[in-house]
Amino acid sequence: MNAETRSWVAIGDLMDIPREGARVVKTATGCIAVFRTVDDEVYALDDRCPHKGGPLSQGIVHGTSVTCPLHNWVFDLATGLAKGADEGSARTTAARIENGKVLLAADDLARRTG
């Protein structure tokens, strides 16, 4: 599916998220961490580390990775996959920016079951 035909949900302004930081979006099926990289790209992952449930939104963002604040697992923001020796993944939600607004893909949001 391409960006034109997909429908998107606006969650706020890009400027609401600190660069190299994250904000939380609450949904009925759990929290989503929305990350902003130093290059102003946005990515969204479930705000739950697959290891011990740590809130990834609270981690340090470096490059296109985030390090979980509880036990330092490192995740690739684009794929949600753990890097290095650790194995696991955090579910991704497609995110993009349009006119300074951060948008999440509605179909990804709908697929979440908690």
Partner 1 sequence: MKKQKLVIVGNGMAPGRMLEYLFEKDRHAYDITIFNAEPRVNYNRLMLSPVLSGERTYEDIITHGDDWYAEHGVTLHKSAKVSEIDRAAKTVTSETGVTASYDRLVIATGSNPFIIPLPGKDLDGVLTYRDLDDVGKMLDAAKRGGRAIVIGGGLLGLEAAAGLKMQGMEVTVLHLMPTLMERQLDPAAGYLLQEEFERRGIEVRTKANSHEIVDDGTGKVKGIRLDDGTQIEASVVVMAVGIRPSTELAKAISLDVGRGILVGDDMRTSDADIFALGECVEHRGICYGLVAPLYEMAEVIADNLLNGTSEYTGSVTATKLKVTGVDLYSAGDFSEGEDREEIVLRDAAAGVYKRLVLKDNRIVGAVLYGETSDGPWFFDLLKKRSDVAEMRDTLIFGQAYQGGTPLDPTAAVAALPDDAEICGCNGVCKGKIVNAISEKGLTSLDDVRAHTKASASCGSCTGLVEQLMQVTLGDAYNPAAVTPMCGCTHLGHSDVRRLIKSRELKTIPSVMQELEWTSSGGCAKCRPALNYYLVSDWPDEYADDYQSRYINERVHANIQKDGTYSVVPRMWGGMTSSTELRAIADVVDKFNIPAVKCTGGQRIDMLGISKEDLPAVWADLGKAGFVSGQAYAKGLRTVKTCVGSDWCRFGTQDSTGLGIRIEKFMWGSWTPAKLKLAVSGCPRNCAEATCKDIGVICVDSGYEIHFAGAAGLDIKGTEVLGLVKTEDEALEHIVALTQMYREQGHYLERIYKWARRVGSDEIRTRIMEDADQRKLYFDRFVFSQKFAQVDPWSERVSGKDKHEFRPMAVLQAEAAE
Q: How far apart are CA 110 and CA 114, in angstroms?
A: 10
| The only residue of 74, 91, 96, 97 in contact with partner 1, by rule CB under 8 A | 74
Residue 34 CA to residue 45 CA, distance in Å, equals 7
Distances (CA, A) of 74 to 30, 35, 37, 48: 21, 14, 15, 13
Please pick, from the candidates 12, 51, 86, 96, the single residue that binds partner 1 as defined by CB under 8 A: 12
Based on CB atoms, which residue is closest to partner 1, 61 or 94? 61
* Structure letter (DSSP) for residue 57: G
Binding site for partner 1 (CB under 8 A): 3-4, 9, 11-12, 16-21, 23-29, 31, 34, 38-41, 52-55, 58-65, 67, 69-70, 72, 74, 76, 78-79, 81, 83, 102, 106, 109-110, 112
